[in-house]
């Protein structure tokens, strides 16, 4: 058993430290969703800041 220093992945037979950093489909989906929602969160924060400032 050994480990990959960059990703701390342990392996017994074969490990490619270059490919271990490539995102999985799940990670790519999460990244896409965050990019989709981030502008909405920024806009909501601006609205809330405006509400708080008027009080």
Look at the alpha carbons of 3, 6, 30, 48 in this order and tell me if their dihedral is positive or negative: positive
pLDDT at 23: 73
Distance in Å from the first CA to the final CA of the chain: 61
Q: Please state the domain extents for the chain.
A: 23-55
pLDDT at 17: 66
pLDDT tens-digit profile of 1-55? 566 666 666 666 666 767 776 777 888 888 899 999 999 999 999 999 999 988 7
pTM of the model: 0.49
Distance CA 50, CA 42 (A): 12
């Amino acid at each position: 058993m050994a480990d990959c220093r960059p990703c701390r992945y342990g392996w017994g037979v074969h490990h490619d430290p270059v490919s271990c950093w490539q995102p999985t489909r799940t990670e790519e989906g999460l990244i896409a969703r965050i990019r989709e929602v981030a502008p909405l969160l920024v806009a909501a924060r601006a609205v809330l800041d405006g509400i708080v400032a008027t009080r």
